Amino acid sequence: MKNYKILTDEELVRLYADGNNTAFETLLSRYKSRVYSYIYFIVRNRDICEDVFQETFIKAITTIKQGRYVENGKFLAWINRIAHNLIIDHFRRSQNENTSSSDSSDFDMLNTMLLADRCVEDDLVREQVMTDVARLVDYLPNNQQQIIRLRYYEDLSFKEIAEKTGVSINTALGRMRYAVINMRRIAQENDILLELN
Indicate if 17 and 89 belong to the same structural domain. yes
Are 186 and 141 spatial neighbours (Cβ–Cβ below 8 Å)?
no
Check which CATH number belongs to the domain holding 12 and give it.
1.10.1740.10
Domain end residue (candidates: 97, 126, 160):
97
pLDDT in tens, the chain (197 residues): 689 999 999 999 999 999 999 999 999 999 998 899 888 888 888 999 999 999 999 999 999 988 888 877 789 889 988 999 898 888 888 776 655 444 544 444 444 444 444 455 556 666 666 666 777 788 888 898 888 888 776 777 888 888 989 999 888 888 888 888 888 887 777 766 655 44
The residues near 146 (Cβ < 8 Å, ≥ 6 apart) are 165
pTM (two decimals): 0.51
- Structural domain boundaries enclosing 145: 118-189
Given this model, what pLDDT does residue 9 score? 92
Helix extents (H) in 18-154: 21-43, 46-65, 75-97, 120-137, 142-148
Indicate if 26 and 72 belong to the same structural domain. yes
Task: Return the H-helix or E-strand segment holding 175.
Answer: helix 169-189
Given this model, what pLDDT does residue 12 score? 94
Q: Is 65 left (phi over 0), alpha (psi -120 to 50) or beta?
A: alpha
Given this model, what pLDDT does residue 89 score? 86
> How many domains, the chain?
2
Domain end residue (candidates: 97, 132, 151):
97
- Is 105 part of any domain? no
The residues near 125 (Cβ < 8 Å, ≥ 6 apart) are 84, 88, 195, 196, 197
Given this model, what pLDDT does residue 192 score? 67
Cβ atoms within 10 A of the Cβ of 179, count?
21
Given this model, what pLDDT does residue 114 score? 42
End-to-end CA distance of the chain, in Å?
Answer: 45
Query: How far apart, in whole angstroms, are the C-alpha atoms of residue 37 and residue 84?
Result: 12
Given this model, what pLDDT does residue 194 score? 59
Given this model, what pLDDT does residue 126 score? 63
Given this model, what pLDDT does residue 127 score? 67
Q: DSSP state, 73? A: S
- Is 197 part of any domain? no
Given this model, what pLDDT does residue 59 score? 92
Query: How far apart, in whole angstroms, are the C-alpha atoms of residue 40 and residue 49?
Result: 5
CA proximity to 76, closest of 190, 155, 194: 190
